[in-house]
């Protein structure tokens, strides 16, 4: 037990190494740009002030979005999807697998679940003891089920999902802007140092490497950001792009695609003035998502509108919502 705890502690420490690498590179770029380029190399005061002003705006937005991507906790299923004390006790005391499955079926009747496992079973996480909401997956690194999980990103040491997906997209976009601005403003001085028009000194090393690093990061970020823009337009997560979500009628990669405008609003919200600010504006609560084919929702009128399914103010387990689902469906005992 002590060895296992020690290994987990070491894993948590080492998981911060990618974040420390990014932080170190960014802090060095700040020093190289502000001091070596702007303060020690530039001679035009107006150019110096303009460069410093725009640079710090880009730097602040980059740092803000990176911070939010790292330290926003991944959202987990609410208590309605967890087994209550009585249900858990009844489930553990029951020795017959079929009876255990039936207990979980009864719990699932109260929940807005439309996706299934690959086998067609209702998705149940035996580690977290929760029925998985649509688009929810268990992260083995974070050791929890994450709402609308996209992927676990080592560069932010966090799961990217419902609670921070907007922040992650903004982090990618402001990272690209940061790199583009540095490359565009450093380019002329990069050439001057390269051909020898400017004297050799510490600034030469910093400016040359600043150009290379900015271009290298920009190219890698461009492909990643473009891929996630495509995912947002299609309303898919990275996991769903590789493995299509399964519904009662079968797998459907476009099951949650409700049009580009509504897809964008699900991530960024309806107020476009807040789209580029790292504050949470995503729609919904992460437990329910509108479907492209609303016929399955229309068969269940209480679940057709997510506003009619909310956690009650008194924190009760069922919230008074009871709606029948197909009792013949089975439960998958896995992640």
Query: Domain containing 195: what range?
Result: 5-73+155-219
How far apart, in whole angstroms, are the C-alpha atoms of residue 222 and residue 330? 43
- Please give the mean pLDDT across all residues of the chain: 85
- At residue 253's C-alpha, the angle toward residues 270 and 130, to 5°, is 80
Residues 65, 85 share a domain? no
Name 251's bridge partners.
Answer: 246
Q: Is residue 20 part of a domain?
A: yes
DSSP letter string over 169-218?
HHHHHHHHHHHHHHHHHHHHHHHHHHHTSS--SHHHHHHHHHHHHHHHHH
Asked whether 317 and 84 are in contact (CB, 8 A), the reply is yes
Q: Which residues of 54-92 are buried (b: 16+ CB within 10 A; e: fewer)?
A: ebeebbebbbbbbebbbebebbbbbebbbbeeebeeebe
Residues 66, 11 share a domain? yes
Q: Is residue 289 part of a domain?
A: no
DSSP letter string over 142-173?
TTEEETT--EEETTTTEEESTTTHHHHHHHHH
**pLDDT band at residue 152 under the 50/70/90 scheme:** very high
Of 204, 219, 234, the residue that ends a domain is 219
Q: Is residue 331 part of a domain?
A: no
Of 189, 219, 249, the residue that ends a domain is 219
Token readout for 78 is 């609410």
Token readout for 232 is 């947002």
Instruction: Provide the domain count of the chain.
Output: 2
Give Cα separations from 104 to 12, 79, 98, 100 (angstroms): 34, 15, 10, 7
| Closest CA relative to residue 156, chosen from 164, 144, 147, 148 | 164
Between 318 and 144, residue with greater pLDDT: 144
Please give the model's pTM, rounded to 2 decimal places: 0.85
Residues 69, 34 share a domain? yes
Asked whether 218 and 210 are in contact (CB, 8 A), the reply is no
Mean pLDDT of 285-298: 76
Tens-digit pLDDT profile for residues 14-53:
999 999 999 999 999 999 999 999 999 898 999 999 999 9
Mean pLDDT of 303-313: 44
Residues 116, 62 share a domain? no
pLDDT at residue 320 in the model: 35
Q: Is residue 52 part of a domain?
A: yes
How far apart, in whole angstroms, are the C-alpha atoms of residue 42 and residue 31? 14
Tens-digit pLDDT profile for residues 207-260:
999 999 999 999 999 999 999 999 999 999 999 999 999 998 889 999 999 999
Of 184, 219, 254, the residue that ends a domain is 219
153 in active site: yes
Dihedral sign for Cα 111, 112, 118, 119, please. positive
Residues 88, 56 share a domain? no
Residues 161, 68 share a domain? yes
Name 116's bridge partners.
Answer: 246
How far apart, in whole angstroms, are the C-alpha atoms of residue 215 and residue 180? 8
Residues 159, 62 share a domain? yes
> Of the given ranges (56-70, 104-118, 158-172), which has the lowest mean pLDDT?
104-118
DSSP letter string over 101-124?
HHHHHHHHTTS---EE-TTSPEEE
Report helix, strand and coil shares of the chain as percent, to nearest 5.
55, 10, 40
Q: Which of 153, 159, 179, 229 is catalytic?
A: 153
pLDDT at residue 200 in the model: 80
Q: Is residue 107 part of a domain?
A: yes
Q: Is residue 13 part of a domain?
A: yes
Residue 187: count of CB within 10 angstroms of its CB? 14
Tens-digit pLDDT profile for residues 87-141:
788 878 877 877 777 777 777 778 888 888 887 777 889 898 899 999 999 999 9
Residues 85, 49 share a domain? no
Q: Is residue 97 part of a domain?
A: yes
């Amino acid at each position: 037990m002590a060895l296992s705890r020690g290994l987990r502690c070491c894993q948590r420490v080492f998981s911060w190494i990618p974040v420390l690498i990014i932080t170190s590179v960014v802090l060095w770029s700040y020093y190289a740009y502000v001091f070596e380029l702007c303060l020690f190399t530039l001679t035009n005061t107006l150019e110096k002030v303009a460069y410093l002003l725009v640079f710090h705006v880009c730097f602040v937005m980059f740092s803000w979005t990176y911070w939010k991507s790292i330290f926003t906790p991944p959202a987990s299923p609410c208590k309605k999807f967890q087994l209550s004390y009585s249900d858990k006790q009844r489930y553990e005391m029951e020795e017959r697998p079929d009876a255990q499955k039936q207990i979980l079926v009864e719990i699932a009747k109260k929940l807005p679940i439309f996706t299934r496992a690959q086998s067609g079973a209702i998705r149940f996480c035996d580690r977290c003891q929760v029925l998985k909401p649509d688009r929810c997956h268990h992260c083995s690194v974070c050791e929890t089920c994450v709402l609308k999980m996209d992927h676990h990103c080592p560069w932010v040491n966090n799961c990217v999902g419902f609670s921070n997906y907007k922040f992650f997209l903004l982090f990618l976009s402001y990272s690209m802007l940061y790199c583009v601005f540095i490359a565009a403003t450093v380019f002329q001085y990069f050439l001057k140092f390269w051909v020898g028009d400017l004297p050799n000194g510490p600034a030469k090393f910093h400016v040359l490497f600043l150009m290379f690093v900015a271009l290298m990061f920009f190219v890698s970020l461009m492909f990643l950001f473009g891929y996630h823009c495509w995912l947002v337009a299609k309303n898919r997560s990275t996991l769903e792009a590789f493995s299509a979500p399964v519904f009662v009628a079968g797998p459907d990669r476009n099951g949650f695609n409700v049009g580009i405008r509504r897809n964008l609003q699900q991530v960024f919200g309806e107020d476009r003035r807040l789209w580029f600010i790292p504050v949470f504006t995503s729609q919904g609560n992460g437990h329910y998502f509108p479907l492209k084919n609303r016929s399955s929702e229309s068969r269940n009128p209480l679940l057709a509108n997510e506003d009619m399914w909310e956690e009650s103010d008194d924190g009760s387990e069922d919230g008074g919502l009871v709606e029948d689902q197909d009792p013949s469906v089975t439960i998958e005992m896995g992640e």
